[in-house]
Amino acid sequence: MSLIELHYDVPGDDFSRAGEASGNVKAQLKKLGFDPALIRNVVIALYEGEINMVIHANGGTIDVSIDPDCIRMVLADHGPGIADVELAMQAGYSTAPDNVRALGFGAGMGLPNIKKYTDDMRIDTKLGEGTTMYLRVDVK
């Protein structure tokens, strides 16, 4: 059990609300006095994950556990699942539909960025059932 546990429901298909969860986590991390670089890493990874849920999975849930030595995030959805995780991890690969790309999203940088800004990233995914992503950012 972490000292602070936060839970968010991410609505699907509403871009105007994407970023609410990561924005709220940012505000709390600032109040806790974490290093700005760590906050940036957490928020960028979380925002990418949040956007992925909106674009691909019709929403989902985010759980964030905050400890003095690390931040853990679990992003779970009941979306279509990822067919080829390795391919999805490649920069520039995207399955986002055109209407989403027209909004400036879907550049195929979501998962690679999440990996870049986290210390650990694990993906459990099953086609037709959904994806759960486990992320950890360590306090350096």
Nearby residues of 21 by Cβ (< 8 Å), 6 or more positions away: 8, 10, 46, 50, 62
Minimum distance of other proteins from residue 76's CB (angstroms) = 21
107 scored as a contact of other proteins (CB under 8 A):
no
Task: Residue 64: name the closest of 80, 82, 83, 46 by CA.
Answer: 46
Q: Residues touching other proteins: how many (CB under 8 A)?
A: 19
Minimum distance of other proteins from residue 74's CB (angstroms) = 18
28 scored as a contact of other proteins (CB under 8 A):
yes
Which of 10, 18, 21, 47 forms a contact with other proteins (CB under 8 A)?
Answer: 47
- Tokens read off for 114: 């999440």
44 scored as a contact of other proteins (CB under 8 A):
yes
Q: Which is nearer to other proteins, 78 or 136 (CB)?
A: 136
Neighbour tally for 8: CB within 10 Å: 17
Which of 15, 32, 97, 99 forms a contact with other proteins (CB under 8 A)?
Answer: 32
Minimum distance of other proteins from residue 4's CB (angstroms) = 6
Q: State the virtual CA torsion across 14, 7, 96, 91 in degrees, nearest 10.
A: 140
Minimum distance of other proteins from residue 46's CB (angstroms) = 10
What are the residues binding other proteins (CB under 8 A)? 3-4, 22-23, 26, 28, 30-34, 36, 39-40, 43-44, 47, 66, 68
